[in-house]
Structure 1
Amino acid sequence: MDSMKKKKKEKTPTATCSIPSTANTMHNISDTCMASFCFFCTMKEPDSLQRRAGIVNCFKQIPLREDHQHVLVLSGLWHIAMTHPDDPEFPSLGVFECMASLINKGINNRDWLQRDQNIYIPYYAAHVIGSYTMNKVEFAEKAVKAGVIPPLMELLRGKLCWVEQRVAVRALGHLASYERTFEALAEHEQELVRLAMKLASTCLDVVYGNFIGIKDRNKRPKYQSNLLTRGVGGLEMENCKAEEWTSQLQCWSLYFLNCFAYKERSLNLICRKEFLKDLCGMWGGLVNDTSPAGIGLLRILCYSKYGRKNVAESKEVIDNLCNLSRSSDDWQYMGIDCLLLLLKDPDTRYKVIEIAVFFLVDLVELRDLGDRPNLGETITKELLLYYKQNKLKHNKSSKLGKVLKDIWDLKVERRKKERVLSEEILEEKRVLICSIKQQANQKFWLGEIEEAMRKYSEALNLCPLRLRKERMVLYSNRAQCQLLLKDPDSAISDSTRALCLSDPANSHLRSLWRRSQAYDMKGLAKESLMDCIMFINGCIKSEAKRMKIPYYAARMISKQIDATWLFSAARSKMTRSCQVKEILQDESYGREDQYEMSTGNDGMMRYMMDNKGLSTIKEEGLIGKEGSRRKLEKGRRISKRGVMAAPSISLIGLPHVKG
């Protein structure tokens, strides 16, 4: 305990920076300090009993006194709470009561808030509450008894700004995650759920409009800028940190909603059609890559009957889940889980089967995905169960009937026939398939793409299921043909099948690049970006040490990072809004011109009208959580380095000649 106290003393901040610093030096107060009330002197008290009594008195006096050093005290408490969140000393001495009082004081006394550096205090107070309650249910119970919920709700309502909302929803999310403190929040359930839904849906627009979109740094709220960068760094770091915090704000709001959805509470609010559509765009991004964001909440909803009913009724949500199931996103398995849950429910199966089957059919040869073994067999079982139940009803010439029949032939009929194949016959088939593949390759080199594709299909029909590597190559080569024939849907299907056959799944570089191109052709930027990142990571880890990152892949990364930027939609809305205002305010436009704009540019106007288990993000690190931006920064560096590099010759766009 003494060593821990020593660490706390060493980490108390100084007053030398425009924002309270967390430098590892003790507040410079002499031993002859004559102040009647000083938190820092109390912390230096050698007698433990007197020190604890002094801290109790400090926590009682801080909200009552006017002292310019309060912000330094709060900064020091924030630092201690972040570095030692499980230390019971401050929670047992009244820190929660103190923090709740300070938040209330900042909300109700704006004159005090604007004096000295008190503007920082509500943020630090809410952060201290969240840090001490993130691991220990005992601390969470103390916080609830201390009355932290009402002031945190005031911050969540937006009484200050988005910066305080971020730490308020973080703290409330921790309180909601414990059984013993959940009911205290459930007393305000309807309002809290509505606030969290609104925050998740609108925070990107709010932060972009009030902060990121303001290009002149001097016009941004100074205290927000200082909190983001700790007084260090220029505009680029400030924007990068604001992006990270905004993503955390959205992800923490979704985590908070997860706590209610998990208990099947307020599903009538959470399952509103517009909000479910909004969830499809909340993906955590490259900033908070550890949070499942929108898909995490959708999966929780799919565990309940009411949730499945509402999810199944939204075609946009089903399309999003299907695209996710055929991607290299970390949360691919969640998309598959959602679809399987919908297919297992007889009330939702018939609503989604005619969409989902055309995506899941590409995954039936998938073996393991993360910690899910034999996932392809699970998918096959669900699809064939539907096929057997409707075998006589379905018209075999229909698209759905044909796809289900193909799955039956592949996974049942062919498997039966191939069980009796001897090793000699298997080797003969391998030689024959290799010969046909060589013929297909020659056709490809001669520019006879359609004929090459037919040859690859012929080889696939003959190739035994056990020859997984050969099937992977044939599917991948056929996908390249489909790309050249401008058929992105078929290219995605075949490259996905190839990636399912790779070991481990989603590791075949050529197929990743081909699917990235196909997704780009369809305008699915997120899916294209994920495949491209996986492709580049594979290039870097390749045994060919001299292999450089292809310039075309770096260019794709650059394009898709811009398209999937966290604030891309908010930027577009703001740009369109400014353009419309400029047009309407331009005196040169008469009534006739305005009528022509409203009737002759229907596309633009329609676009404007149309765009009106609990996993969570990692806690913010003390130094600024640089790791959470590594993927984003890596992608940006790759794009810059790759585009500037000299073009390198690559066979990625050509069929496999060997193997």
Structure 2
Amino acid sequence: MDSLRKKEKKIPTTTPNMDTDQSCTNPCCFFCTMKEPDSSLRSAGIAKIFKEMPLRDDHEHVLVLSGLWNIAMTQPDDPVFPSLGIFNCMASLICKGINNRDWLVRHQNIYIPYYAAHIIGSYTMNKVEFAEKAVESGVIPPLMELLRGKMSWVEQRVAVRALGHLASYDRTFEAVAVYEEEVVKLAMQLASTCLDVVYVNFVGVKDTMKRSKYHSDLLTRGVGGLEMENRKAEEWASQLQCWSLYLLNCFACKERSLNLICRPDFLIDLCQMWGGLVNHSSPAGIGLIRILCYSKTGRKNIAKSVEVIENLCNLSRSSDDWQYMGVDCLLLLLKDPDTRYKIIETATLFLIDLVELGSLIDRSNLGEAITRALLLDHKQTKLKFKNKRFEKALDETWELKVERRKREKMLSEEKLEERRVLVGLIKQEAKHLFWLGEVEEAAIKYTEALEICPLKLKQERMVLYSNRAQCHLLLREPDAAIRDSTRALCLSNPANSHVKSLWRRSQAYDMKGLAKESLMDCIMFINGCIRSETTKRVKIPYYATRMISKHMDATWLFANARSKFPSSQVNKVQESCGDRKSTNTDDQQYEDMMRMIIEKKSLISSLSTIIEEPMIVKGDNRRELLEKARRGKKAVARSM
């Protein structure tokens, strides 16, 4: 919003101290009213202020809004302000900011619509009673104006958050659904393009003088330089995307607007929306895909997309936090007769590696569920398809989970012990061949050992699979290495905890150019190394740090935007929008930028709660490790 920059002032960086300014003579002072000891007088005074605030032009409005925002964020369940008319006040202030540009550029009023929408979202995120009061107060029309982009992406972020909370309650859903088609289309557009918008409009603008100052101040609360601004912009862009998906989830859960949401190009976009390490509390795109898989319409459309199925398959064989969602989606598709035969050839080649998986998150015996889904009518299924790899995979599953299990039940303890000893001898022979450089022969020996190793000897079989994966790596066979390391990780306890297999699969994914999967395995590998250290001083393996550094740029939230919009193009957009003086400058700039992004994009072929502000979960070192990798990136680059 370049036309407003000359009149922007610095945002208040601290919450107002309500014990200061003893000489205040303003009878409508919010902070003085808050100090009133008589509760009835205080409530009456606050209600009066809320009613009069949109009618007055006061330079302290932004200070009051900043204080209300802090209270709403820390005490969202407190009924005092919602009962005194705060929602009417916030709705009126947003309308005033949208419709009265002269008022918006005075004092520090540019910040007010952002704070007002944020306050609405905070008070409606937990209490349906507050949500009903907000709807009755008329907050939805002004929030819709912000969602349409009447100001900027910063206000869209808090508007879509508030609308998502209102749509999540049955008692207020229909009030949002009045705008159903528009809401769904806008949320889809935001989810697909917001990263490009934030990059072009902010992160990709290297000249800080050309960045919107009020955006910079909101992001950092007036404290921090360029690096802090970019880091917060990354978090906010991820939240904007995730909250847009959350709003879509509200409609998908009720099987509303599924034909819109299931557009083939949008389903492909969803596969690239990763909650990941920036907003790790949200499943992002996979969360919405799973919701869609609960409906017949959703399954039908997802089964048609080769890209989506491939993404689900890769996710199911990863150490991503949302691995179980990938498995859930594939199982739902396999259990539906109308979609089973559209995906079974592809899915089987991936899911076969998970048939020995035990528990994952809160799901027990997940491998058994996968086995049942794969072997349902397996003889007829084999006749239906003439794919040799597929037939072999089904036969292997049947042999491992049915025939071999029956045979081993008949073995005595003495026979089982004999096999265990024989497996150990073959394993030693394989190791000897490996160190002699006879890698192919070593892989054959590991296969021989696996064929006779009893199923109940999970630890031994885990090591055999992992060692054979190492052979495949050296033979430059990444697919085979991924299969074997995945099988080893399924046998580990808990699942995905065998550090050598994690590292080997990370290398294999790297060979195939699957940066996200490689990065997640590498981080899990480092976590395992840290847990196994007995000394206080933990050393992160150099080769793992180098792998993380390699994939940081490829998995950066704005990596695609950066490739589509080089610095020269970002500068051109800024220059073309920078000198306009009309009252419609901001609307025009936003529309121009959105048009460019959508056109550029067209050339390139569980309703989960989202934490309101990003936080690191105790015991989860992934964010910390990524931070260390970022700090050490230059040093690593010099040494490579």
1:394 Cα offset (Å): 5.4
Distance 1:84 1:636, change over 3 A: closer
Give the match for residue 379 of structure 1.
370
1:562 Cα offset (Å): 1.3
Q: For the residues of structure 2 that align with 1:304 and 1:93, how far apart are their CA atoms?
A: 42
Q: For the residues of structure 2 that align with 1:99 and 1:580, how far apart are their CA atoms?
A: 35
1:40 Cα offset (Å): 1.5
Distance 1:278 1:327, change over 3 A: same
Distance 1:118 1:274, change over 3 A: same
Check if 1:316 corresponds to 2:307. Answer: yes
SS of the counterpart of 1:35?
coil
User: Which letter maps to 1:474?
Assistant: L
1:612 Cα offset (Å): 5.8
Give the match for residue 597 of structure 2.
none
1:577 Cα offset (Å): 7.6
Is the 2:15–2:70 Cα contact (8 Å) retained in structure 1? no
Within the candidate set 93, 104, 116, 2:95 is matched to 104
Give the match for residue 185 of structure 1.
176
Farther off after superposition, 630-639 or 296-305: 630-639
Give the match for residue 613 of structure 1.
606
User: Which letter maps to 1:448?
Assistant: E
Q: For the residues of structure 2 that align with 1:242 and 1:642, how far apart are their CA atoms?
A: 20
Distance 1:35 1:391, change over 3 A: closer
SS of the counterpart of 2:98?
helix
1:70 Cα offset (Å): 0.4
Within the candidate set 362, 365, 370, 2:356 is matched to 365
User: Which letter maps to 1:68?
Assistant: H
The correspondence of residues 223-262 of structure 1 with structure 2, limited to 5 A, is 223-262=214-253
Give the match for residue 265 of structure 1.
256
Check if 1:550 corresponds to 2:541. Answer: yes
Check if 1:333 corresponds to 2:324. Answer: yes
Give the match for residue 25 of structure 1.
17
Is the 2:355–2:368 Cα contact (8 Å) retained in structure 1? yes
Check if 1:518 corresponds to 2:505. Answer: no
Within the candidate set 503, 506, 519, 1:529 is matched to 519
Is the 1:472–1:498 Cα contact (8 Å) retained in structure 2? yes
Distance 1:342 1:45, change over 3 A: same
1:227 Cα offset (Å): 0.3
Give the match for residue 488 of structure 1.
478
Is the 2:94–2:117 Cα contact (8 Å) retained in structure 1? yes
Q: For the residues of structure 1 that align with 2:281 and 2:155, how far apart are their CA atoms?
A: 22
1:386 Cα offset (Å): 3.5
Within the candidate set 412, 429, 440, 1:439 is matched to 429
SS of the counterpart of 1:347?
helix
1:391 Cα offset (Å): 5.1
1:158 Cα offset (Å): 0.3
1:620 Cα offset (Å): 1.5
1:530 Cα offset (Å): 0.5
Distance 1:643 1:45, change over 3 A: closer
1:631 Cα offset (Å): 3.5
Q: For the residues of structure 1 that align with 2:192 and 2:367, how far apart are their CA atoms?
A: 35
Q: For the residues of structure 1 that align with 2:183 and 2:570, how far apart are their CA atoms?
A: 36
Within the candidate set 155, 158, 161, 2:149 is matched to 158
Q: For the residues of structure 2 that align with 1:581 and 1:58, how far apart are their CA atoms?
A: 45
Is the 1:554–1:640 Cα contact (8 Å) retained in structure 2? no
Q: CA RMSD in A?
A: 2.4
Is the 1:551–1:642 Cα contact (8 Å) retained in structure 2? no
SS of the counterpart of 2:611?
coil
Give the match for residue 444 of structure 2.
454
Give the match for residue 600 of structure 1.
none
Q: For the residues of structure 2 that align with 1:577 and 1:472, how far apart are their CA atoms?
A: 52
Q: For the residues of structure 1 that align with 2:491 and 2:625, how far apart are their CA atoms?
A: 28
Within the candidate set 286, 290, 294, 1:295 is matched to 286
Q: For the residues of structure 2 that align with 1:194 and 1:642, how far apart are their CA atoms?
A: 40
Is the 1:555–1:643 Cα contact (8 Å) retained in structure 2? no
Distance 1:468 1:158, change over 3 A: same
Q: For residues 217-265 of structure 1, give each alpha carbon's deviation from its aligned partner in whole angstroms, at most 9, with x where no partner exists.
A: 1211000000000011111111000000000000000000000000000
Distance 1:406 1:142, change over 3 A: same
Give the match for residue 347 of structure 1.
338
Q: For the residues of structure 2 that align with 1:579 and 1:226, how far apart are their CA atoms?
A: 21
Is the 2:205–2:570 Cα contact (8 Å) retained in structure 1? no
User: Which letter maps to 1:90?
Assistant: F
SS of the counterpart of 2:193?
helix
Within the candidate set 437, 461, 472, 1:471 is matched to 461
Is the 1:525–1:564 Cα contact (8 Å) retained in structure 2? yes
1:543 Cα offset (Å): 4.2
Q: For residues 138-176 of structure 1, give each alpha carbon's deviation from its aligned partner in whole angstroms, at most 9, with x where no partner exists.
A: 000000000000000000000000000000000000000
Distance 1:463 1:630, change over 3 A: closer
The correspondence of residues 583-598 of structure 1 with structure 2, limited to 5 A, is none
Q: For the residues of structure 1 that align with 2:40 and 2:182, how far apart are their CA atoms?
A: 43
Is the 1:554–1:643 Cα contact (8 Å) retained in structure 2? no
Aligned residues: 603
1:21 Cα offset (Å): 3.0
Distance 1:580 1:128, change over 3 A: closer
Q: For residues 294-343 of structure 1, give each alpha carbon's deviation from its aligned partner in whole angstroms, at most 9, with x where no partner exists.
A: 00000000000000000000000000000000000000000000000000
Q: For residues 521-556 of structure 1, give each alpha carbon's deviation from its aligned partner in whole angstroms, at most 9, with x where no partner exists.
A: 111111001000000000011044376321010010
Within the candidate set 66, 74, 77, 2:65 is matched to 74
Q: For the residues of structure 2 that align with 1:608 and 1:92, how far apart are their CA atoms?
A: 45
Once superposed, which parts of structure 1, at least 4 consecutive aligned residues long, lie more than 6 Å away?
579-582, 626-630
User: Which letter maps to 1:340?
Assistant: L
Q: For the residues of structure 1 that align with 2:340 and 2:603, how far apart are their CA atoms?
A: 29
User: Which letter maps to 1:57?
Assistant: K
Q: For the residues of structure 2 that align with 1:176 and 1:465, how far apart are their CA atoms?
A: 49
Give the match for residue 583 of structure 2.
none
Q: For the residues of structure 2 that align with 1:576 and 1:523, how far apart are their CA atoms?
A: 25
TM-score by length of 2: 0.91
Is the 2:18–2:35 Cα contact (8 Å) retained in structure 1? no
User: Which letter maps to 2:417?
Assistant: E
User: Which letter maps to 2:491?
Assistant: L
SS of the counterpart of 1:288?
coil
Distance 1:391 1:200, change over 3 A: closer
1:46 Cα offset (Å): 1.4
Check if 1:221 corresponds to 2:217. Answer: no
1:626 Cα offset (Å): 6.7
User: Which letter maps to 1:427?
Assistant: E
Q: Percent identity?
A: 71
Q: For residues 2-45 of structure 1, give each alpha carbon's deviation from its aligned partner in whole angstroms, at most 9, with x where no partner exists.
A: xxxxxxxxxxxxxxx93123347226322x53223211121111
Q: For the residues of structure 2 that align with 1:213 and 1:343, how far apart are their CA atoms?
A: 43
Distance 1:24 1:627, change over 3 A: farther
1:645 Cα offset (Å): 8.6
The correspondence of residues 648-659 of structure 1 with structure 2, limited to 5 A, is none
Check if 1:407 corresponds to 2:411. Answer: no
Q: For the residues of structure 2 that align with 1:609 and 1:37, how far apart are their CA atoms?
A: 53
Which blocks of at least 5 consecutive residues in structure 1 are unaligned?
A: 1-16, 583-606, 647-659
Q: For the residues of structure 2 that align with 1:610 and 1:630, how far apart are their CA atoms?
A: 38
Farther off after superposition, 38-47 or 164-173: 38-47
SS of the counterpart of 1:232?
coil
Q: For the residues of structure 2 that align with 1:474 and 1:241, how far apart are their CA atoms?
A: 45
